[in-house]
Structure 1
């Protein structure tokens, strides 16, 4: 019980985030196999995985506000608020990475060392910020893909999934923006209206 209370994200947000992240990462996996490699065309840089090594290539780019993003097939690393926050594809539970202990480049999740859960209020706030920024980046990316390729490409990507997508190609960006809003709402203080003065008092 105590560990769930300390988690920076409620279970429903993690569940919905994991669902969306799986869809987006599947689509991004198709984007990088496109003749134009859409991630590169979007401005990210690629660190190719060496031949014979297991894992996935790393794609890096900038985040709003001076942050940085690294994407792999297994998750995303967001550098925001002075912290490095890893958001795994499996579970969507943000954790802190101590980059000084990491040997770069990384092509597997195990290469990130031993990430730890955010514990202090500052760390938990940074974790929520990372998830919100990542969600808004993914929303913007999906809008860019739809604008560039039209809906047909995303329909093709989703149709190739082993099981039906829980969201449509057209709604994916909006779902990410909605999730970002839910995470950002966790940062706002809750006002107990029972203590608010009566109007006109």
Structure 2
């Protein structure tokens, strides 16, 4: 991670929230990849996401598109997630859990370099939008994991986690709850930042 990205990350989220988000997101990306290859059928398609297949001869990865809980658009690849909501586009890379502001976002891309012009968030409104995007992504993953546990079965998710080289920090039955808690922590960070930035009165 570059010094600028590291500084941006520190101003967005507390270290413990970023660390826990990074670990959870790594598990989520692994599980989503396994879901695509589920022997009983592509779980992402069963959940209603739409696959935009990589054309023959084109480098990159297929994209899966769905809707965030607020109606915004979510695009998933093996290299990260793009959340487009409320006029903002936030890309969350697979490594680091540090959202990047995206200009001219392209959910139809197949390579990370084609997603759009990515940069660190630079202003207060952009930082708030980035945290909101992370929270919406966490909300979606919480709902998705709850659906997997209910409709696909915990046995499948346990099988996915068992196939990882590194043990998951969260058991299969707690993944949905872990994402809900992370969403709360991200939103709480935003509330604390706004409180600290508020002008003092009565001094």
TM-score range, shorter chain: 0.7 to 0.9
Aligned equivalent of 1:83, options 85, 88, 101: 88
Aligned pair count reads 192
Contact 2:54 2:61 in 1 (8 A): yes
Report the counterpart of residue 11 of structure 2 in structure 1. Answer: 7
1:154-193 equivalence runs, <5 A: 154-188=157-191, 189-190=194-195
What does the per-residue CA deviation read over 1:73-112, in whole Å, with 9 as the maximum and x for residues that have no partner?
1110001221110011111101111126x5x631121112
Report the counterpart of residue 199 of structure 1 in structure 2. Answer: none
Over 3 Å counting, the alpha-carbon distance change for 1:109 and 1:7 in structure 2 is farther
Instruction: Confirm or deny that 1:115 pairs with 2:118.
Output: yes
Contact 1:80 1:129 in 2 (8 A): no
Contact 2:72 2:84 in 1 (8 A): yes
Distance 1:48 1:115 in 2: 23
Aligned equivalent of 2:33, options 13, 19, 29: 29
Distance 1:5 1:145 in 2: 31
Contact 1:6 1:119 in 2 (8 A): no
Structure 1: which 5+ residue stretches go unaligned? 196-201
Q: Which has the larger radius of gyration?
A: 1
What does the per-residue CA deviation read over 1:150-177, in whole Å, with 9 as the maximum and x for residues that have no partner?
2100110011111211110011111111
Distance 2:152 2:115 in 1: 34
Aligned partner of residue 12 in structure 2, secondary structure: coil
Offset of residue 5 of structure 1:
7.9
RMSD: 2.3
What does the per-residue CA deviation read over 1:102-158, in whole Å, with 9 as the maximum and x for residues that have no partner?
5x6311211124301111111111000000000010010000000012210011001
1:64-143 equivalence runs, <5 A: 64-99=69-104, 102=106, 105-143=108-146
